[in-house]
Amino acid sequence: MEKRKTKRYGVNKTRTIAVNFLVIILIGAFLLTLPVSSRSGHRTDFMTALFTATSASCVTGLVLADTFSHWSVFGQILILMMIQIGGLGTIAMRILLATFLRRNITLKARNLLQESINSLQIGGIVRLIRQALKGTLLFEGAGAFVMAFYFVPRLGFRRGIYYSVFHAISAFCNAGFDLMGYQGEYGSFVSAVDHPLINIPIMALIILGGLGFIVWVDVWKQKFRFRKFQFHTKLVLTTTAVLVFGGAAVFYLLEAKASMAELTGTGKVYASLFASVTARTAGFNTVDTALMSEGGKLFNIMLMFIGGSPGSTAGGIKTTSIAVIFFYMAAYLRGKHGAEVFGRKISDETVRKAVAVFVLNLSLALGAVLIISGVEKLPMLDLMFEAFSAIGTVGMTTGLTRDLGTVGRILIMILMFLGRVGSMSFAFSFYERKPVPKVQLPEIEVPVG
């Protein structure tokens, strides 16, 4: 009896996390429909409110209404609260509240927290989340301080500080919501394409938020000595560096004479780096995404699909998954048995999980594209861009979001939700994983390749 109860609890962990997110989304959607949440003082239709709440809670950034033009300050702050809760995770926020109220943290709560931040061990999990909160406040505060030198001279002290804090939280949580609509709706940071006080802090916040809590703590404990880092930290930092700088180089080659054609040399460098960083689940942009070349859009889709790292504020299949698949493929082509990285061999179970996540997320995104394209006549590449942006919780768009019908909007919301909760974890929450049987069927070789 006890064994069965343990199994059921293991199954329900991800389901509990999903329900928590769903509750936040529904409460947020209801509050966003209220007249006080809109700038006009009128009620917002439920679909727009639900889409916005889903996007904010799942830290995506896709919107049906411009955040500055449509929502009042109350609505904007409500969106910001959902972003912060969604970025840190609903379970982590509950743990922090319990800690603040000096309540004991139960084993069940610790297990949920372990699952929500993808930690491999439960020991020290509460201490880790406390350190994560301190790091979050430090990074967001530092980012807001730097951006204040950009916003305050332009908007005045109070409004400038508000804008700095809003964009610092949105960037760190990889959310992609912005208030730059005061210069023109849906413009994001196009007007600041080569301004260092916007580019540098936002890129830094996106990267830091996308690395993950476990990586921060390890880097801090080991005093930035790479050789002493955990395997996970080494893999995340290496993969992130390759994707950021390699991605920037590819964007420069693809877009220098396309969407970046009118920029200066410095502007093209900033825009390339920003495009590479933000495509990994942040959702901001400093060049008009609709003007990107088809090659640029396709490469952007690839980066959005990869996303950030486990235990971070970012979505996607995660940097570790793509790294594991790449190293395993490289080892197989060289005739080796298993992938070896940093003096360690990656387990076969890890490889299987990485492949499963890759295939499942790819199938969900492409499945949504096929369904929407069958119902609505929209450009296929732009539709793929939208779907992969949603499941990667990125928030970048070519402007297609507002053209979607009811079916398209519902499917995009489902993709955003699964992208934040974790598609494979969510699938596992509906059944128990059975142990490997002692007696198995005989193996058979199947021609492939």
The token pair that represents 17 in the structure block: 């996390």
* Side-chain half-sphere CA neighbours of 259 within 13 A: 25
**Domain range annotation of the chain:** 9-426
Question: Over the stretch 146-180, which tens digit does the pLDDT of each residue have?
Answer: 999 999 999 999 999 999 999 999 999 889 899 99
* Side-chain half-sphere CA neighbours of 286 within 13 A: 27
* Side-chain half-sphere CA neighbours of 57 within 13 A: 28
Residue type, 38: S
Stated pTM of the model:
0.88
Using the 8-state DSSP alphabet, how is residue 118 labeled? Answer: T
Residue 136 CA, distance from chain mean position:
16
End-to-end CA distance of the chain, in Å? 47
For 279-308, the DSSP string reads: TTTT---SS-GGGS-HHHHHHHHHHHHH--
For 177-204, the DSSP string reads: ---GGGGSTT-TTGGGTT-HHHHHHHHH
Using the 8-state DSSP alphabet, how is residue 341 labeled? Answer: E
**H or E stretch covering 345:** strand 344-345
Beta strands 340-341 and 344-345, pairing class: antiparallel
Residues in Cβ contact with 80 at an 8 Å cutoff, skipping those fewer than 6 apart: 166, 169, 170, 177
Strands (E), 94-242: none
Vertex 182: Cα angle to 178 and 184 (nearest 5)? 90
Q: Are 168 and 205 in contact (CB under 8 A)?
A: yes
The token pair that represents 23 in the structure block: 């509750």
Phi, psi angles (nearest 5°) of residue 323: -65, -45
Query: What is the chain's length?
Result: 449
376: number of Cβ within 10 Å: 15
112: number of Cβ within 10 Å: 25
Distances (CA, A) of 408 to 28, 177, 302, 411: 21, 21, 21, 5
Question: Over the stretch 27-68, which tens digit does the pLDDT of each residue have?
Answer: 999 999 999 999 999 999 999 999 999 999 988 999 999 999
For 40-106, the DSSP string reads: TSSPPPHHHHHHHHHHHHTT----SS-HHHHB-HHHHHHHHHHHHHHHH-HHHHHHHHHHHTT----
Q: Are 244 and 357 in contact (CB under 8 A)?
A: no
Per-residue pLDDT of the chain (449 residues; tens, 9 = 90+): 444 444 444 446 667 777 888 989 999 999 999 999 999 999 999 999 999 999 999 889 999 999 999 999 999 999 999 998 888 765 555 555 555 545 565 555 556 555 555 555 555 566 767 777 888 889 999 999 999 999 999 999 999 999 999 999 999 988 989 999 998 888 899 999 999 999 999 999 999 988 887 888 888 888 888 989 988 899 999 999 999 999 999 999 999 999 999 999 999 999 999 999 999 888 899 998 889 999 999 999 999 999 888 877 778 888 989 999 999 999 988 888 888 888 888 888 889 889 988 999 999 999 999 999 999 888 899 999 999 999 998 989 988 998 999 999 999 999 999 988 776 566 555 555 566 666 777 877 777 66
In 3D, which of 207, 189, 206 has the Cα closest to residue 198?
A: 189
Output the CA torsion 97→102→107→112 (10° steps).
Answer: 10
